[in-house]
Every structure is written in structure tokens, then in C-alpha cells.
Structure 1
Amino acid sequence: MTADFLTDGPGDAAAVLLLAHGAGAPMDSPFMDAMANRFGARGIRILRFEFPYMLARRAGQRKPPPRADKLVGVYSGVLDLAMRETANARVFIGGKSLGGRVSAMLAGERDDIDGVVCLGYPFHPPGNPDALRLDPLNQAKVPVLVCQGDRDPFGRHEEVMGYPLEPHIRVEWFDDGDHDLKPRGRAAATWTSNLDAAAETAVAFMLEGYGT
């Protein structure tokens, strides 16, 4: 298996984050670029990659995303490749939306990672709040950080606060943010400030430890 990583951050970083994209946007989407740049500037080594269906889209094929569980094996293989490049760094996995969900699923199978970072977790499909996707988070064998916008249609603040989440899961909220953490114009926060805050929260999680 091979993977073409898009890299950010120092090669000798103390922590490496393997970062997967969401269902509809590639690894170099504006959101992914913005977060990877912020992580890299704060001393985290970022390795971005694409699932096969997204690579097929780049080649002009119309490929829908498969079910999340069908991507776990792919992510696991990419993780094996990434670990060859990490030396003595702490290794985290994560992703945007679908990528975060697959990361959490993988963390239920493997304990040779240090944690999971989910950027906009899809707690449920938009408009279907009863179809909860809590098991990947609750069954993860390592600490999980979720960075979520207050009004994310995949899991709003008032909804998620009532979910039965295990103690190893930490959810951090970002002011008036949508699924990309972007607030409305009348909010006190800006998209830049929310992205900065999410990056700082995730970096502290990776460098200083869970719960700090």
C-alpha cells in the first residue's frame, strides 16, 4: 500500500497528526488547508491523505463515499505507513467529519496511537437526530477530542450535551460555528478566531495531554 501525504509542520515534531478529509471535500479544501497550516505553525507534524474514492474523483470519476466502516481498513493501512515516518513522536489520528468518524472507529480497534482529534464530528445525519453515531467515540481505546461548532447540524451544542458520552471523550465548543466552525456575521467570533481556538485546543490536547 502507498499513500501520497500532504505534509505540514516540522519534521522533528513531538507529535504527528494523521488527518483525513470529510465526505465531500478533499484533503486540500479551504478548511483542511486552514487547520493544517495552523497545526503546523504550532509545532505539530501533519500528514494529510485521501481515501480511494476521493482519489478517483480527482481522476474525473464520480465516486460516492462508501460507508464509514468500509474505510477503517484503508485508514489503518495508511496509519502503518505514517508510523514509519514518525520516529519517537506521539501519534494521533483524526479528521474532518467523516474522517473523524473513521478515526474513532479505528481507535476502537487499535491502541498503538495516543489519541483522536475530530474536527466537526457527525453525531447524527442532518435532520435525523435519532440516528446517533456515538459508538465509535464511546468504544475508542484512547482519549478523543471533538472540536464542534455550537450550531453544527450534525450535532448542536444543546443536543450533544445530553448524549451519554464516556469520560475519555472531550467535546470543545466554538462560538456559533457550523460544521466548518464558521459563525454567522452577527456572532462575536469570526471564522479565523474559531479556527485559531480549535487549533490551540487540539495542540494542547496533543502536546500537554488529555484533560489539560
Structure 2
Amino acid sequence: MTHFVMRAAESHDDAHRYRWKMPETTHDADGVIADLQRPDGPAAGVVVLAHGAGGNRTAVILRAVADELCARGLVVARIDLPYRQRRPKGPPSPSGAAADRDGIRAACAVFRGEANGPLIVGGHSYGGRQASMAVAEDPDLADGLLLTSYPLHPPGKPDRMRTEHLPSITVPTVIVHGSTDPFASPTELTDAAALIGAPVRIVEIEKVGHNLNPEKKPTAALTADAVDEVLLGRVRS
């Protein structure tokens, strides 16, 4: 399979801010809570994004990426995972991880009909990890996977790799990673991505950590570029 890394620093004109502020509506039904952003005109696909362990659907990184993807013609749903629906603060419990994956599945089912194009699922850190596990468990869940700051191992504990499910992922995958992220070194992430049995693009943002700093780096634009090329098959002009 094709695995390659794109390294980028200040290469876009929006390097110090994300430019889009797309309107949104809130969905709260069927156990799914989400902020939904729709483009003007027909949508090219749907993206469902879940937040990290300490955040919620309003996290800066999710909003930045969602704004950019919506501006490029995608419907984007930023969801609150089930553990966050139950309590406004605090980390997830390992015992609730399966329920969080069920929440991701429910959101995919709710929003898949928003467009005729592909459905992409993913998220930041913990949310992305649970999305990747859901895709590994159910290959028909989504057509592509988008992971920002995948938490490959706890900081300082490279002996505790979270890679067991990666060989079961069979959909094209984009991974956006900060070069100084303590949850994975660039080399560790590249080695882990090679386990995925589908095309993978790693987008490495230089001199940033786990939060990917989208207000000062071109994180959102570079993420959307990779989504366009790898997950949607759109050629950039």
C-alpha cells in the first residue's frame, strides 16, 4: 500500500489564522449531539469528527478543520461523544470506550444521508482513536478516516503502543501530526501507519505539539488538502 509523509510549516497564506467561519446548526436527537456545517450548494461528502479526551465538539482544532472542509464543499458534523454528553468535564473512562464508539456509529448513521458522496469519519486524539477502532471493527462504517494527533502511546511510554487494530483498517487514511507531539514521534507514527492496509497520507506540521495550533499554523488547510487528494480523489490545481 502507499504510505507517504508530507512535511509542512508556514506554506499557506493562512498560516496564522484559519480563514473560514461557516454557519452551523445544532442536532440533538437519537442520542447524537452535533454542530453541523453545510456548504453552499451540493455537498461532495460528509465528515463526522469527534473530540479529544479533554474537549468537546467546540474544540478549536475541530472548528478549524471543519470550517476548512465545509468551505471546500463537505458537510461536517462535530459531535459530542457519549461520555461528554453525560458530563461537561473530565476525561473518558476506559470502560466507556465501546459506548463512545457506538456514539460514533450512531452519528455516521444519522448524517450519512446529508450527501451522496463518501462519508469520512475521524477526530482529534481520543476521538480519532475511537473512530479508527470503529472502522477497524466495521469496515463498512465509512469510506475514509481522518485522524488528527493520533495518540499512538501515552507520553513517555512508547512501550504501550496503541496499534493492535491498525492492520484491520481497510479505508484510505489521513493522519495529521505535530512534529513535537509527545504521544508519538514522527518515526513511531510512520512505522505504525505502515500497519494500515490501505493508502495513508501523513501530514506532519513542524514545530507544534498535540494541539496542532491551528490558529498559528496552516493545519486546517493542509488537512483539507490531504482529504481532497487521498479521501476524495480530487486533484488540486
Q: TM over 0.5, yes or no?
A: yes
The answer to whether residue 114 in structure 2 is matched with residue 86 in structure 1 is: yes
The answer to whether residue 180 in structure 2 is matched with residue 151 in structure 1 is: yes
Contact 2:61 2:213 in 1 (8 A): no
Deviation at 1:55, TM superposition (A): 2.0
Q: Which of the pair is proportionally richer in strand?
A: 2
Within 5 Å, give how 1:161-180 maps onto structure 2. 161-163=190-192, 164-168=194-198, 169-180=200-211
2:154 corresponds in structure 1 to 125
Runs of 5+ in structure 2 lacking a partner? 1-29
Question: What is the letter of the counterpart of residue 42 of structure 1?
Answer: R
Q: Deviations over 1:149-200 (max 9, x none)?
A: 11111111133234452342332211122112239xxxxxx83323321222
C-alpha distance in 2 between matches for 1:135 and 1:143: 18
Q: Deviations over 1:131-165 (max 9, x none)?
A: 00112332113222111111111111133234452
Of 202, 205, 223, which aligns to 1:198?
A: 223
C-alpha distance in 1 between matches for 2:190 and 2:98: 26
Contact 2:151 2:183 in 1 (8 A): yes
Within 5 Å, give how 1:1-212 maps onto structure 2. 1-10=30-39, 12-58=42-88, 63-67=90-94, 68-83=97-112, 85-112=113-140, 113-163=142-192, 164-168=194-198, 169-182=200-213, 191-208=216-233
TM-score using structure 1 length: 0.84
Question: What is the letter of the counterpart of residue 68 of structure 2?
Answer: R
1:186 corresponds in structure 2 to none
Query: Aligned residues: percent identity?
Result: 30
Greater length-normalized contact order (CA 8 Å, ≥ 6 residues apart): 2
Distance 1:35 1:16, change over 3 A: same
C-alpha distance in 2 between matches for 1:78 and 1:41: 21
Distance 1:53 1:166, change over 3 A: closer
Runs of 5+ in structure 1 lacking a partner? 184-189
Q: Which runs of 4+ in 1 moved over 6 A?
A: none
Q: Deviations over 1:31-70 (max 9, x none)?
A: 2111111111122210111012212333xxx553022344
1:187 corresponds in structure 2 to none
Contact 2:82 2:100 in 1 (8 A): no
Contact 2:169 2:197 in 1 (8 A): no
CA RMSD, Structure 1 to Structure 2 (Å): 2.2
Distance 1:2 1:194, change over 3 A: closer
Q: How many residues align?
A: 199
